[in-house]
Chain A
Amino acid sequence: MNENPADLAPELCVLLAAVLGLLAGMFLPRAGQWRVAAVCAAGLAAALAVALVAATRPGLMAFDAFTVDPVTHVTRIAVFGTTLPVVVLAAGRMRGHPRESEFSVLILLAALGTVLLGASSDLLVLVAAYLLASIPAYALAGFGKDGPGTEAALKYYLMGAFLGVLMLAGVTLLYGVGRGTSYAALRDGLGAAPGAAVAVGTVALLAGLLFKAGAVPGHYWVPDVAEGAPPVVAAFVTTVPKIGAFAALFRIGAEVLPPGAFAWAPLVALVAAVTMTLGNLAAFAQDNVRRLLAYSTVGQAGYLLVPVAMAGRAALAEPALLYYVAAYAVTNLGAFAVVVAVGRDDLAGYTGLLRASPALGTSLVVCLLGLVGTPPTAVFVGKLLMFGAALEGHYAWLAALAAANSVASVFYYLRWIVPAFGGPAAPLRPARSALVVAVALAAVSLALGIGSGLVLAT
């Protein structure tokens, strides 16, 4: 058994930074609390660097509970790479907040849980990662201590608790019929298990992961939290946890369920179809940009479930999922960063944005067109791979539905983009750090799209 802690060095970096930050936060004066954010950012940067180095090494299994393979590498890089801008965003907003240090620490812990979610290869570790990823996020959602924030936190927590319990029940059931909790053991054990028990257990297990992914039926919290929680938190919880959740979902389909034990592809395809359609339709009439983005993330979750459904059926499924999820995280976070920078939640507040602040307006247009899937942005490449995976897995109807949904989604994205080009410009004082983050993320989204050949080759 491999018990080398160095194999989990990126996670340990983040954990160390979180602990240091927590300890430092206790002793630092209020005016010096920004050092905590700096420590956390440094920890994330170090973790990112170590993860990039680790990505060049062959895959292995650590502590019999974590798989270190391409899925884990991309999860690490995407999670740490998107959490870093969130910490930068938050550092600007939370400056001088009474609990400034705790904010960064909570974000780091949630990110750590997310990575463990994607890397775990044991159902018990999966549940622990679920809790680690969720509980800091609940606290973050209510961080503002205001009415909408508290309501959002409570709804988030209640949904998470309910679906988490179902997930635990599912794990218990699968443990019972599969005689083990590690993925490898389950793959051997579930083949001979009664079909109905596997079906009930798997669906219950999915309930928790779909909650984290923000897909039907675990999507109810997404619009409410996105609207009620502080904007930075909304940006974080609608973006980062999904990365780990989709990685975990992919592992369940590819590594846990033996062929013939469970109707994985049809079931997940059904969930994907419902999720993308519901998300896109519900986004149509939204006038609140955070709600609109929330439903858009639900729609994107639907697209992301397509390669998950193709797990084990199509060779393109894994690159499609990994590329799409990374591209989506960068682009979605970029759009949220624009919202944070502008500081307005109503669509009318974005009229004439391109004239008021060309850099911010361009970033918004790039990110939204990216979410539509316009070349040459990164999401376009991800979507292309996703269609390819669906066709390779003989799910042409799903590809067609995804294409129809993409066309429909243009409607509500354009409702946001078009006013930004015209109209009188309202005076605007964007927060500097948020502006920089938004422009940087838009640029990365473009670079990932243009350089997709290079990235996919490595």
Chain B
Amino acid sequence: MSVLAWALPALPLLAGALLLLSGRRADRAAPAVGTGVATVLLGLAVAAAVTRPAVRFRLFPGWDAGLAVDGLSAVLVVTVAAVALAVLVHAAGEFAPDEARARFFGLMLVFTGAMLVTVTAADLAVLLMGWEVMGAMSYALIGFWWADPERVRSADVAFLTTRAGDLGLYIAAGCAAAGAHSLGLADLAGTAGPWRGLIAAGVVVAALGKSAQLPFSFWLSRAMSGPSPVSALLHSATMVAAGAYLLLRLQPLLAATGWAGSLVAWAGALTALLLGVVALAQRDLKQLLAASTCAQLGFMVLGAGVGAVAGGTAHLVAHAAVKSLLFLCAGAWLATLGTQDLGGLRGAGRRDRAVGVPFAAGALALAGIPPLSLWVTKDTVLAAAGEESLALYAVGLAAAVLSAAYSAKALIAVWRRGGGARGRAGRLAVVPLPVLAVAACTLGILGLPAVAGPWRQVLGVPDEPGPGAAGLAVSGVLAVATVLAAVALARRGTFTVPDRVPDGLPDRRAGRTAGWALGWLRLEPMAGAVLVGPTLALARALARFDDRVVDGGVRAAAQAGRALSALTTRRAEIRLDGAVTAVGRAARGLAALARRPQTGQVHAYYAQAAVLLAALVVVAVLAGGR
């Protein structure tokens, strides 16, 4: 049984590493290998979900570590494997043959493997390994086209931001080791005293960073620099999902502290609201989808905060299907039409229905239109939030309305009549789209009473409430009304994106608020001003200190040494040198003297030997018997 627990993460990790090591030689075979591995992986994931393997081992002496597939992990591994397969199939159809395909598929597989390690880890140490490898792979994938310096800069920003959040997880691990004497995820909630608060704080920071919640959201905008399949995977089932997963997994810890739960809930709700505004303001399809990812993850985080683990997980799974679908559609259009601008995409869905119809399904699901998936899952979370606090519910409902609005905006943009650009996505690239669309539409059954009960059993939270009928009605009506209103406004021409926006000129109608939202709440400049700037200033100050004081001290010591040596050269050296010379001269004199007896004449030798022996006799006699 334990073999399966090892094989699940090992298969993609090893296959990916092999592809990376073989370099461009493997470019031809890479798509086949990648999709093949992903297919086998999906089989393994399903098997693992059914058999629930677990393995325990000693990572460090005295510290138990392990990989285990429990209910939550089972859901996640199947989701991750399924989305990875869909994305890789799409990528196999879309990626040009002259690209570094071996590197791409290798990185994607390692990325997936790292996510699998993260979701099956039973302790913080193993989780950190997967977490870190995943971060590194996200860097490599966002900066995949490294020849473009702007993309590399984006990768830097994304990596540094998530990395800054990751420090929290290290703090959490350190505090767990100190406070609980165990790194096991299950033991964290039972830690005593202030350690528990510190662990929770570290986990929350790391999870908010990974999930691109406020105030870390801006890195997700930067992450759009990678290839579209990367976005599809990174925004749905891996990376950002890891943060939500961590919070859902450690919900007992958050609840135990008392304050962490409401903190997380409010962070999620506010992210859902504000990033909804940001999404609404975007004119670029991928940026809109990115902001909506933040917003939708806000609902999952909210769920973790208010104790709706089943709802949050259902939302995670459904959103994974929806968002990977939408990004794959966006990627397909980017590949065929060469644009991701909402104005430029006018009518794209109408002309290429193989992409347009799945996109419409995904967008409607994202809008929360009944009876599609996110409507149900979102309301499960909102119902739990309403029990916690009415303000939270109100903010969540407003965010839901916003998600309907921005979904409608994207939908209208691609289905509006007009626009001229034509193109048809590759056959292989559209294969996964209907499958994902069906999943996006139907995963709402997780909220139906007949399915919700077993679902909660699987996740180990049988007592959680389901969505109330009134809440479902309210949010469904609001969503439909919002979409209809948006369509009506679009007919009158006020809720559309102009075909061409003059470069650099902000939309006059948008005003200051829209510009603020368009720029992702100015979060990146703010982070620059608050963190990067002061850090760099401190670094410069320390460098000056190093140059002037530390290095100056060293140089002063050197100068003092030189001065001292000059002094000794003038005063002492001459005398010392004279003494050395005298010793040398004396030695040479003695040497000349030593050669004197060697006359070469035997009679002289005889005489000398006789005299010396006589002298020895005298010495011996005088010395006596000592």
Asked if B605 is at the interface of the complex by the 8 Å CB criterion, the answer is yes
Asked if A195 is at the interface of the complex by the 8 Å CB criterion, the answer is yes
A199 touches B621 (CB 8 A): yes
1/0 per residue, CB under 8 A from B, across A238-280: the answer is 0000000000000000000000111101110011000001100
A166 touches B613 (CB 8 A): yes
Q: Tell me which of A202, A284, A408 has the highest count of chain B C-beta atoms within 10 A of its own C-beta.
A: A284
Residues 119-147 of B at the A interface (beta carbon under 8 Å): none
Cβ contact of B609, chosen from A155, A220, A223, A277, cutoff 8 A: A220
B617 touches A224 (CB 8 A): no
Asked if B57 is at the interface of the complex by the 8 Å CB criterion, the answer is no
Cβ contact of B587, chosen from A220, A224, A408, cutoff 8 A: A408
Residues 280-331 of B at the A interface (beta carbon under 8 Å): none
Which residues of the partner chain A approach B625 to less than 8 Å between Cβ atoms? 195, 260-263
Which residues of the partner chain B approach A260 to less than 8 Å between Cβ atoms? 625-626
Cβ contact of B602, chosen from A158, A200, A203, cutoff 8 A: A158
Asked if A196 is at the interface of the complex by the 8 Å CB criterion, the answer is yes
Asked if B428 is at the interface of the complex by the 8 Å CB criterion, the answer is no
Given A203-B616, A204-B613, A267-B616; A220-B598 close (CB under 8 Å):
yes
Asked if A63 is at the interface of the complex by the 8 Å CB criterion, the answer is no
A411–B626 Cα gap in the complex (Å)?
Answer: 37
Residues 587-623 of B at the A interface (beta carbon under 8 Å): 587-588, 590-595, 597-598, 600, 602, 605-606, 608-609, 612-613, 616-617, 619-621, 623
A268–B65 Cα gap in the complex (Å)?
Answer: 75
Asked if B624 is at the interface of the complex by the 8 Å CB criterion, the answer is yes
Q: Tell me which of B606, B609, B616, B617 has the highest count of chain A C-beta atoms within 10 A of its own C-beta.
A: B616
Name the distance in Å between B605's Cβ and chain A's nearest Cβ.
4
Q: Tell me which of B600, B613, B620 has the highest count of chain A C-beta atoms within 10 A of its own C-beta.
A: B620
Asked if A457 is at the interface of the complex by the 8 Å CB criterion, the answer is no
A282 touches B594 (CB 8 A): yes
Which residues of the partner chain A approach B587 to less than 8 Å between Cβ atoms? 281, 284, 408, 411
Asked if A218 is at the interface of the complex by the 8 Å CB criterion, the answer is yes
1/0 per residue, CB under 8 A from B, across A158-198: the answer is 11001100100000000000000000000000000001100
Asked if A285 is at the interface of the complex by the 8 Å CB criterion, the answer is yes
Which residues of the partner chain A approach B606 to less than 8 Å between Cβ atoms? 158, 162
Name the distance in Å between A108's Cβ and chain B's nearest Cβ.
29
A263–B626 Cα gap in the complex (Å)?
Answer: 5
A278 touches B617 (CB 8 A): no
A284 touches B591 (CB 8 A): yes
Asked if A217 is at the interface of the complex by the 8 Å CB criterion, the answer is yes
Which residue of chain B is the closest to A224 with respect to CB atoms?
B600
Name the distance in Å between B619's Cβ and chain A's nearest Cβ.
6
Which residues of the partner chain B approach A408 to less than 8 Å between Cβ atoms? 587
Which residues of the partner chain B approach A195 to less than 8 Å between Cβ atoms? 621, 624-625
Q: Tell me which of A159, A271, A281, A411 has the highest count of chain B C-beta atoms within 10 A of its own C-beta.
A: A281
1/0 per residue, CB under 8 A from B, across A220-233: the answer is 11011000000000
Name the distance in Å between A276's Cβ and chain B's nearest Cβ.
11
Name the distance in Å between A263's Cβ and chain B's nearest Cβ.
3
A267–B623 Cα gap in the complex (Å)?
Answer: 8
Which residues of the partner chain B approach A200 to less than 8 Å between Cβ atoms? 617, 620-621
A217 touches B609 (CB 8 A): yes
Which residues of the partner chain A approach B595 to less than 8 Å between Cβ atoms? 282, 285
B591 touches A203 (CB 8 A): no
A284–B583 Cα gap in the complex (Å)?
Answer: 14
Asked if A141 is at the interface of the complex by the 8 Å CB criterion, the answer is no
Which residues of the partner chain B approach A265 to less than 8 Å between Cβ atoms? 626
A223–B605 Cα gap in the complex (Å)?
Answer: 13
A195–B593 Cα gap in the complex (Å)?
Answer: 35
Which residues of the partner chain A approach B617 to less than 8 Å between Cβ atoms? 199-200, 203
A285–B596 Cα gap in the complex (Å)?
Answer: 12
A221–B604 Cα gap in the complex (Å)?
Answer: 12
A166–B612 Cα gap in the complex (Å)?
Answer: 13
B623 touches A263 (CB 8 A): yes
A278–B624 Cα gap in the complex (Å)?
Answer: 26
Asked if A306 is at the interface of the complex by the 8 Å CB criterion, the answer is no
A207–B626 Cα gap in the complex (Å)?
Answer: 20
Which residue of chain A is the closest to B603 with respect to CB atoms?
A158
Given A263-B624, A281-B594, A408-B587; A220-B619 close (CB under 8 Å):
no
Cβ contact of A266, chosen from B588, B594, B623, cutoff 8 A: B623
A271 touches B620 (CB 8 A): no
Asked if A216 is at the interface of the complex by the 8 Å CB criterion, the answer is yes
A199 touches B620 (CB 8 A): yes
Name the distance in Å between A147's Cβ and chain B's nearest Cβ.
13
Which residues of the partner chain A approach B592 to less than 8 Å between Cβ atoms? 285
Given A260-B625, A267-B620; A203-B590 close (CB under 8 Å):
no
A278–B623 Cα gap in the complex (Å)?
Answer: 23
A282 touches B620 (CB 8 A): no
A279–B288 Cα gap in the complex (Å)?
Answer: 96
Name the distance in Å between B25's Cβ and chain A's nearest Cβ.
43
Q: Tell me which of A158, A278, A411 has the highest count of chain B C-beta atoms within 10 A of its own C-beta.
A: A278
Q: Tell me which of B600, B606, B623 has the highest count of chain A C-beta atoms within 10 A of its own C-beta.
A: B623
Which residues of the partner chain A approach B623 to less than 8 Å between Cβ atoms? 263, 266-267
B602 touches A159 (CB 8 A): yes
A159 touches B588 (CB 8 A): no
A217 touches B602 (CB 8 A): no
A411–B617 Cα gap in the complex (Å)?
Answer: 34
A284 touches B588 (CB 8 A): yes
Which residue of chain B is the closest to A285 with respect to CB atoms?
B591
A262–B625 Cα gap in the complex (Å)?
Answer: 4
Which residue of chain A is the closest to B622 with respect to CB atoms?
A263
A285–B600 Cα gap in the complex (Å)?
Answer: 17
B609 touches A162 (CB 8 A): yes
1/0 per residue, CB under 8 A from B, across A440-456: the answer is 00000000000000000
Given A263-B624, A281-B591; A203-B613 close (CB under 8 Å):
yes
Which residues of the partner chain A approach B594 to less than 8 Å between Cβ atoms? 277-278, 281-282, 284
B608 touches A217 (CB 8 A): yes
Name the distance in Å between A268's Cβ and chain B's nearest Cβ.
10
Which residues of the partner chain B approach A224 to less than 8 Å between Cβ atoms? 598, 600
A218–B612 Cα gap in the complex (Å)?
Answer: 10
Name the distance in Å between B597's Cβ and chain A's nearest Cβ.
8
A163 touches B609 (CB 8 A): yes
Name the distance in Å between B222's Cβ and chain A's nearest Cβ.
61
Which residues of the partner chain A approach B621 to less than 8 Å between Cβ atoms? 195-196, 199-200
Which residues of the partner chain A approach B600 to less than 8 Å between Cβ atoms? 224
B619 touches A267 (CB 8 A): yes
Name the distance in Å between B621's Cβ and chain A's nearest Cβ.
5
A285–B595 Cα gap in the complex (Å)?
Answer: 9
Which residue of chain A is the closest to B612 with respect to CB atoms?
A217
Q: Tell me which of B602, B608, B619 has the highest count of chain A C-beta atoms within 10 A of its own C-beta.
A: B602
A159–B612 Cα gap in the complex (Å)?
Answer: 14
Given A281-B587, A281-B594, A408-B587; A220-B626 close (CB under 8 Å):
no
Which residue of chain B is the closest to A151 with respect to CB atoms?
B600
Cβ contact of A203, chosen from B593, B605, B620, cutoff 8 A: B620
Which residues of the partner chain A approach B608 to less than 8 Å between Cβ atoms? 217, 220
Which residue of chain A is the closest to B619 with respect to CB atoms?
A267
B616 touches A271 (CB 8 A): yes
Pull 28 A–B residue pairs with CB atoms less than 8 Å apart, ordered by A: A155-B605, A158-B602, A159-B605, A162-B609, A195-B624, A200-B617, A203-B617, A203-B620, A207-B613, A217-B608, A217-B613, A218-B609, A220-B605, A220-B609, A223-B598, A224-B600, A260-B626, A262-B625, A263-B626, A265-B626, A266-B619, A267-B619, A267-B620, A271-B616, A281-B590, A282-B598, A284-B594, A285-B588
- Taking A220-B605, A277-B594 as known contacts, 16 extra A-B pairs with beta carbons closer than 8 A to each other, sorted by chain A number, are A200-B620, A206-B616, A217-B613, A217-B616, A220-B598, A220-B609, A262-B620, A263-B624, A263-B625, A267-B620, A278-B594, A281-B587, A281-B590, A282-B594, A284-B591, A285-B595
Ordered nearest first, which 5 A-B pairs have the shortest CB separation?
A263-B623, A217-B612, A284-B591, A281-B594, A199-B620
Interface of A toward B, CB cutoff 8 Å:
154-155, 158-159, 162-163, 166, 195-196, 199-200, 202-204, 206-207, 216-218, 220-221, 223-224, 260-263, 265-267, 270-271, 277-278, 281-285, 408, 411
